């Protein structure tokens, strides 16, 4: 993630943490923080300093800086497969350069939001995800999905749904 902030109240920090908690290998890039750690991950000054291949470059920088980041990504060997520009970030020239080089480009979108929408995780909060499916999302046991029907209430009693599920389970045995 290019442009991550070490400040926990910044959107880049929150998105970085969220994706890392979901199992993605996140590599912070911020020249002002190079050599330090953010969420236990070593921060690099430039994409070229990263000692391993990068699949996707998530850009948390203002639109006018994106062309430079894309040129730096295109110089990597191997090249990343995706250039992702965060919410509010759009640079058509940078997108053209990346697409001409065979990379996929996403602009003005947040991978954290898209992950939550496509995994149905965000639907647990009552948000319309515009994703239709007859399949219920697999519970991961992390994040908002810790809220299940099979739990004890704050008052110490089981929920009605937990009681019904327990009764049905006993009946099946």
Residue 55 belongs to domain spanning: 11-118
pTM of structure = 0.70
Q: What's residue 166's pLDDT? A: 75
* pLDDT tens for each residue of 81-92: 999 999 999 999
Please check the confidence at residue 93 and state whether its pLDDT lies above 50.
Answer: yes
151 and 66 assigned to the same domain: no
pLDDT in tens, 106-149: 999 999 988 888 877 766 555 555 555 555 555 555 544 444 44
Task: Tell me what pLDDT residue 152 has.
Answer: 44
Burial class (CB in 10 A: 0-12, 13-18, 19+), 27: buried
DSSP secondary structure code for residue 28 in this structure: -
pLDDT digits (tens, 9 = 90+) for 25-81: 999 999 999 999 999 999 999 999 999 999 999 999 999 999 999 999 999 999 999
> Sorting pLDDT into bands at 50, 70 and 90, what band is 168?
confident
From the CB of residue 157, how many other CB atoms can be counted at a distance below 10 Å?
10
Asked if the structure places residue 133 within a domain, the reply is: no
| Tally of domains in the chain | 2
CA distances (Å), origin 121, targets 26, 53, 85, 116: 20, 29, 22, 5
Co-location of 47 and 97 in the same domain: yes
Distance CA 64, CA 35 (A): 26
**Residues composing the chain:** 173
Query: Is 123 a member of any domain?
Result: no
Q: Rounded to whole angstroms, what are the CA distances from 93 to 68, 80, 97, 103?
A: 11, 18, 6, 14
The verdict on 47 and 109 lying in the same domain is yes
**DSSP conformation letters of 44-85:** BSSGGG-SS--SEEEE-S-GGGHHHHHHHHHTSSSPPSEEEE
Q: Are residues 24 and 88 in the same domain?
A: yes
> Are 71 and 153 found together in one domain?
no
Q: How many CB atoms lie within 10 A of CB 16?
A: 24
Whether the predicted pLDDT of 18 surpasses 80: yes
CATH of the domain at 42: 3.40.50.720
């Amino acid at each position: 993630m290019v442009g991550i902030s070490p400040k926990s109240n910044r959107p880049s920090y929150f998105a970085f943490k969220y994706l890392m908690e979901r199992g993605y290998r996140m590599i912070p890039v911020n020249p002002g923080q190079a050599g330090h750690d953010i969420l236990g991950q070593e921060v690099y000054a430039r994409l070229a300093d990263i000692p391993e291949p990068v699949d996707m470059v998530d850009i948390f920088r203002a639109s006018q800086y994106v062309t430079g980041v894309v040129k730096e990504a295109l110089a990597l060997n191997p090249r990343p497969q995706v250039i992702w520009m965060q919410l509010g970030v759009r640079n058509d020239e940078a997108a053209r350069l990346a697409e001409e080089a065979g990379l996929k480009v996403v602009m003005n979108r947040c991978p954290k939001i898209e992950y939550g929408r496509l995994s149905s995780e965000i639907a647990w909060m009552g948000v319309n995800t515009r994703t239709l499916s007859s399949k219920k999302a697999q519970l991961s046991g992390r994040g908002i999905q810790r809220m299940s029907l099979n739990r004890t209430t704050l008052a110490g009693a089981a929920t009605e749904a937990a009681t019904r599920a327990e009764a049905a389970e006993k009946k099946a045995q």
